[in-house]
Amino acid sequence: MTKEKKVNRKDNKGKVLRKGESQRKDGTYMFRFTDECKKRKSIYAKTLAELREKELKIKRDKMDNIRLSVDYTVAQLVELYLSLSQKNLSFNTMESNENAYRNHIKNSWLGYKKIKDTKKSDILLFYTELSEKLKNNSIHSIHRVLSQAFKLALDDQMIRTNPTYGALKNFPADTEEKTILTPQQLNDLILYVKNHPYYYRWYPLIVILSETMIRGGELCGLTWDDVDLKRKTIKIDHQIQYCKIKGKGKHILCICPPKTKNGKRTIPLTTKAYKAFIKQKELQFSLNLYSTTVIDGYENFVFPTRRGNPTYTMALDNMFRNLTNRYNKENSEPIPRLSCHVFRHTGCAIKAKDFFKLGLDPKILQTWMGHSSLTMTLGLYNHITEIDTQNAINELNSMIG
């Protein structure tokens, strides 16, 4: 008995169809295959040529061990990355990443695109569209989220290449000069606050911010247990932030680790800072400002509100904005808008110049600031003002005679 010859299947144009290929009733084509999990999958195309291009890609993915069972969209991939990175990132970074995803990625055309179909040109187009309404620094924040998410996909063999690599080349970071006060402006402001009938209660806080150069969240989280007046040091190992309660859309004050790994540090107090802490103790007694709240086991905060709660950065910045407006109305020489960061930058800029004049090791200043690199300390904070330039010329002229 002879074996019957297998008849090749053909489409309506007479072209022979390969294993797994078929033509549908509407004339389009389908290819069925199994992924690495032994699950049946199908792809579709309008023409046989287009279908076979997709088949080649699938075969190549199989040869390179690319996972065919995963079919995430960009938004789904970012959600996965955010859920996996929560424990490794600071609260501020996590909040920034979630805002970037929620406001710019989740419901965008890129968010709906499959990660396997996303090309570098798609990322560039997305950033170009964003650049019409956002600054480049905001695009950098969005890029940080996308690049890390696609790196996760690459490491997990979901994709062959990371389409975000090199996508920021045409979007350089915005170089905005950090706002600082001159030494004279700082001294005039401190004197103004010290003698003001309302703002006098913030006098120690402003001195401590500018002298210790700690971050706003670190200042708000300071407890008297962190202040050693005998040794004249303060210990920084935590900060206070507004933390979001998942699923409720609310925020509460919570204790978080410092912004960076180098943020945990012990800072020696200058004479001005030491006296400011003494003054804060006196003000707490005279104004009956005592900390009555316990947050994550921390209590006895150095800067409580009238209700006994620890203050927080946003509240301080609001107060500083009002102080700026009041000061500029009552003085002929205006000052830039004040914030916790302005006092930190100002303190570092002044100290950096003092360190240079005295020949001190700038790495000491880096440690006090809690920076991860010396370049950040000197590059971002060692400002040159017109007064500095004039003083340099005067000193050179005096040397020449």
pLDDT in tens, 330-371: 999 999 999 999 999 999 888 888 888 888 888 888 888 887
Each residue of 287-313: pLDDT tens digit? 998 899 999 999 999 999 999 999 999
Strand bridging mode 265-268 / 233-236: antiparallel
**What is the average pLDDT across 268-295?**
94
Tell me the sheet residues that pair with 102: none
Cα four-point dihedral sign 118, 120, 122, 127: positive
Give the helix ranges, DSSP H, for 168-234.
Answer: 183-194, 203-212, 216-221
Helix axis angle, 91-100 relative to 136-155, nearest 10°?
90
Average pLDDT over the chain, rounded to whole?
Answer: 87
In the three-class reduction of DSSP (H, G, I as helix; E, B as strand; rest coil), residue 261 is classed as helix
Which value, in Å, is the radius of gyration of the alpha carbons in the chain?
A: 30
Each residue of 216-239: pLDDT tens digit? 999 999 999 999 999 999 999 999
What span, in angstroms and rounded, lies between the C-alpha atoms of 221 and 225? Answer: 11
Per-residue pLDDT at 391? 60
Q: Tell me which of 157 and 224 has the higher pLDDT.
A: 224
Each residue of 364-394: pLDDT tens digit? 888 888 877 777 777 655 555 555 555 655 6
Burial tier of 200 (Cβ tally within 10 Å: 0-12, 13-18, 19+): middle
245 Cβ contact partners less than 8 Å away, ≥ 6 residues apart: 251, 252
What span, in angstroms and rounded, lies between the C-alpha atoms of 98 and 91? Answer: 11
Portion of the chain with pLDDT greater than 70, in percent: 88
